[in-house]
């Protein structure tokens, strides 16, 4: 489904990704782990199409389509979803209004009819229940005044409503207490499906106790230095990132 080959990317003249290869098949959950500054978030932003990053070499394909040719919203229409590490606040815009606009923009782009208010509300309630998010969150402005945990839950809710093909979770576990972490993980697990893939980006192994990945990749200094099964995460937990070749000690 997702094929990343020899991906090089830089921001403000500094090369961050130095040849990343990653292949994700439908139904799979991949974890990308790495210390601060290894390029994890850059990878997420590049996948979503953030302007600030320049791809200098390599390729990015989703279902055989070249992502580099697509604007961020076109990638979304193609089924790519990014759960942001720092979800953005949009004061004055209701959360459910925002989501309805998003759902209908995607439906329109895919040639489907737009949902009316009633149908959307039904979908929203159903999805909110699925990922266990309080409906009160829906009535507030997008992320405005949300706690860190609420913001992350809101990302999961958006993911549940938008039903992406490929979901990239950028450090969704950061700053969460254990209860919030469990809720978020349960939400992701509820959405696991044969035709949907996840790339879970994280610094810590902790999240992977709750979202068990099929594959784990270690990203160090802009390259994937090792790949393996879920046991690799436990190895990392014990040895730290310092135990890998070419790696510097964890900051």
Q: Which is nearer to other proteins, 8 or 50 (CB)?
A: 50
203 binding other proteins? (CB under 8 A): no
- For residues 199 and 215, is the Cβ–Cβ distance under 8 A? no
For strands 2-11 and 215-220, give the pairing: unpaired
Q: Which is nearer to other proteins, 66 or 134 (CB)?
A: 66
The least distance separating other proteins from the CB of residue 4, rounded to whole angstroms, comes to: 18
Q: Give the separation between CA 130 and CA 228, rounded to whole angstroms.
A: 31
Q: Give the separation between CA 92 and CA 94, rounded to whole angstroms.
A: 6
User: Which residues lie below 8 Å from residue 8, measured CB to CB, with a gap of 6+?
Assistant: 15, 17, 18, 19, 55, 56, 57, 58
Stretch that binds other proteins, among 66-74, 128-136, 187-195, 202-210 (CB under 8 A): 66-74
- For residues 46 and 228, is the Cβ–Cβ distance under 8 A? no
Stretch that binds other proteins, among 33-41, 93-101, 115-123, 221-229 (CB under 8 A): 93-101
Q: Find the DSSP H helices in 131-173.
A: 148-162
Q: Give the separation between CA 68 and CA 65, rounded to whole angstroms.
A: 9
Of 9, 24, 29, 76, the one binding other proteins (CB under 8 A) is 76
Q: Which is nearer to other proteins, 80 or 236 (CB)?
A: 80
Stretch that binds other proteins, among 53-61, 81-89, 122-130, 228-236 (CB under 8 A): 81-89
Of 59, 93, 243, 248, the one binding other proteins (CB under 8 A) is 93
158 binding other proteins? (CB under 8 A): yes
Contacts (CB under 8 A) with other proteins, residues 122-151: 141
175 binding other proteins? (CB under 8 A): no
Q: Give the separation between CA 68 and CA 153, rounded to whole angstroms.
A: 29
- For residues 148 and 134, is the Cβ–Cβ distance under 8 A? no
User: How far is Cα of residue 177 from the mean position of the Cα atoms in its chain?
Assistant: 19
Percentages of the chain per state (helix, strand, coil), in multiples of 5:
40, 30, 35
Q: Which is nearer to other proteins, 167 or 224 (CB)?
A: 167
The least distance separating other proteins from the CB of residue 92, rounded to whole angstroms, comes to: 3
Contacts (CB under 8 A) with other proteins, residues 37-56: 48-51
Cα of first residue to Cα of last residue in the chain, in angstroms, is: 34
109 binding other proteins? (CB under 8 A): yes
120 binding other proteins? (CB under 8 A): no
Residues that bind other proteins (CB under 8 A): 48-51, 69-73, 75-77, 81-82, 84, 87-93, 98-99, 101-102, 105-106, 109, 141, 158, 162
């Amino acid at each position: 489904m997702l094929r990343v080959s020899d991906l090089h990317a830089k921001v403000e003249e500094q090369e961050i990704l130095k040849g990343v290869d990653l292949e994700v098949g439908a139904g799979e959950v991949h974890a990308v782990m790495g210390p601060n500054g290894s390029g994890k978030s850059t990878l997420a932003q590049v996948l979503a199409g953030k302007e600030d990053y320049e791809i200098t070499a390599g390729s990015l394909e989703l279902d055989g389509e070249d992502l580099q040719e697509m604007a961020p919203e076109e990638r979304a229409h193609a089924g790519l979803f990014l759960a942001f590490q720092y979800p953005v606040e949009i004061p004055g815009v209701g959360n459910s209004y925002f989501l309805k606009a998003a759902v209908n923009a995607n439906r329109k782009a895919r040639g489907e009819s737009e949902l009316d208010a009633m149908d959307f509300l039904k979908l929203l309630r159903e999805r909110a229940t699925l990922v266990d998010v309080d409906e009160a969150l829906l009535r507030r402005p997008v992320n405005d005044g949300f706690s860190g945990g609420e913001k992350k839950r809101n990302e999961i809710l958006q993911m549940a409503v938008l039903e992406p093909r490929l979901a990239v979770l950028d450090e969704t576990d950061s700053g969460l207490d254990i209860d919030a972490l469990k809720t978020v993980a349960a939400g992701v697990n509820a959405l696991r499906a044969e035709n949907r893939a996840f790339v879970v980006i994280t610094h810590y192994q902790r999240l992977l106790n709750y979202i068990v990945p099929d594959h784990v990749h270690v990203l160090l200094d802009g390259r994937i230095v090792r790949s393996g099964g879920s046991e690799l995460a436990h190895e990392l937990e014990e040895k730290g990132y310092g135990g890998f070749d070419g790696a510097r000690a964890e900051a």
